Amino acid sequence: MAKRGESVLDLIEVMDRLRSPGGCPWDARQTHQSLVEYLVEEAYETVEAIEGGDDSGLREELGDLLLQVVFHARIAQERGDKGWDVDDVARGIVEKLIRRHPHVFADADADTAEQVEANWHALKAEEKGRASVADGIPAHLPALRQLAKEFPTKYTEACLAKLQTTFEGLHEAWADGTTKEFLRRPQSRKPLAISVVWVLCRLRSRTISIFRLQKHPRGTGNWPWPVGAFPTPVVR
């Protein structure tokens, strides 16, 4: 029976062969930049497998993501002394996990998942010198994903409840002919702005799961938009 991790070493050896002289011409000419589209595609396909409950598909897509990690590490390794390899990648994440779990590997206290998450974000901000939770969000991250990173998960339900209240107020203002006065109020405009972002991303993104909550599924009466209100985008 193979030891755990042996197949990862096999993958590294296969990649070494593909990138070496006499290997594959296509693999040999790839760069970090040329592989970006494949990295993004595999990430989306992994999410799709998760959301579709496709367990075997998830295993396959995670393998494709692992290939991307090994591929990029091999490309970096070829830079010699100025590069790094897959061991450096693994070593870095091991050190990070130990550093950000002081309640497991040191003497810090964290009895709940919420405390662990708070400690993680605090340590991350300290390590990277960030003053805001919005710092460090990639510019290419879809808008809805950015929004989700700026608003912690524990606040999502509160945001949804606020949106629902705002839409109810807008409906009443429309009926009373006081829509302009309603929209002039800052407490009305901000939730509406968030909802506009959600709608735009709903029409454009292929994976929308940030605001899915068990207590607020679309179409149950608790969600501002009924099922089928916005068409699911066709991805070609």
Token pair listed for 190: 């901000």
* Dihedral angle over CA of 119, 101, 51, 209, nearest 10: 10
d(CA 226, CA 223): 7
Alpha carbon distances (Å) from 214 to 167, 176, 197, 217: 20, 34, 21, 6
Sequence letter at residue 128: K
pLDDT in tens, the chain (236 residues): 778 999 999 999 999 999 999 999 999 999 999 999 999 899 989 999 998 999 999 999 999 999 999 999 999 999 988 899 999 999 999 999 999 999 999 998 888 988 898 888 888 888 877 665 555 656 555 554 555 555 544 445 555 566 667 777 777 888 888 877 777 776 656 566 655 555 555 444 434 444 333 333 443 433 343 444 434 444 43
* Sole residue written with tokens 């972002």: 197
Is the CATH number of domain 6-97 1.10.10.60? no
d(CA 9, CA 87): 11
d(CA 198, CA 210): 10
**What pLDDT, on the 0 to 100 scale, is given for residue 45?**
93
Torsion over CA: 219, 213, 55, 208 (sign):
positive
**What pLDDT, on the 0 to 100 scale, is given for residue 141?**
57
d(CA 232, CA 202): 8
Alpha carbon distances (Å) from 133 to 108, 116, 118, 156, 210: 23, 16, 12, 15, 17
pTM for the complete prediction? 0.59
**What pLDDT, on the 0 to 100 scale, is given for residue 188?**
59
Domain boundaries, the chain: 6-97, 100-136, 137-236
